[in-house]
Structure 1
Amino acid sequence: MRKVLFLCSQNRLRSPTAEQVFADWPGIETASAGLNVGADNPLTPELLQWADLIFVMERAHRSKLSARFRTHLGGKRIVCLDIPDNYEFMDPELIRLLQGKVPPHLP
């Protein structure tokens, strides 16, 4: 079972949507977190250790992740989805984007 972590800024819109959309995907477990202070579910070193594959929504998230958690990444694969913060939770357009960009990276 591959463990897939979705990250955005506040863990309120994009990453929780991705976590839900792919929750029933065969062969994976999903989780989500936010990189900002005050995120609903803040990213922790333990969550990074749990994850096999990490998706970030923007390039800035990859930079922040590397700067703050470099020692906890251990060469894990990080995929940037290039999805801007323009969507509400479970927005149909956001779901369509996620369904187009995420599956090629899943088992």
Structure 2
Amino acid sequence: MDTPNEKALIFCSQNKLRSPTAEAVFSEYEELETDSAGLDRYAEVPVSTEAIIWADIIFVMEKSHKSKLSKNFQPLLKDKRIICLDIPDEYEYMEPALIELLKQKVLPLLKIKK
């Protein structure tokens, strides 16, 4: 029997560099569905209630993201795992160092076979 896919939602500020990189990297894992969004008002893809409801696990890049998420979406978060990755905004999109850091921090927390 197949186990259902885990759904990971990944946030950064603008949804331009870190979270889209994470979405691209982790979308290659069959057992995982990914989506990303930004928490700032002018994010490329702004956070939505639908995305939060959809997610099984939520990753944020910084503590400030977790605070902003909790402040604005508290009722939707009561049964969600929210993990802060502590990845600063100093990487370019798909930068190899960022990809390596994401894999180191995220893969041990997920139910996937890689």
2:81 pairs with 1:98: no
| RMSD, aligned CA | 0.7
Q: For 1:27-83, what per-residue CA distance to the aligned partner results, in whole angstroms no more than 9, with x for missing partners?
A: 110000000001000001111000000000001100010001101113200011000
2:63 pairs with 1:35: no
Q: Which residue of 2 aligns with 1:6?
A: 10
What TM-score do the two structures reach when normalised by structure 1? 0.97
Q: Distance in 2 between matches of 1:8 and 1:23?
A: 17
2:21 pairs with 1:49: no
What TM-score do the two structures reach when normalised by structure 2? 0.91
Q: Which residue of 2 aligns with 1:87?
A: 91
Q: Work out which of the residue numbers 28, 46, 71 in structure 2 matches 1:67.
A: 71
Query: How many percent identity over aligned positions?
Result: 56
Give 5+ residue unaligned stretches, structure 1.
none
Number of matched residues?
107
Q: Distance in 1 between matches of 2:72 and 2:83?
A: 17
Give 5+ residue unaligned stretches, structure 2.
none
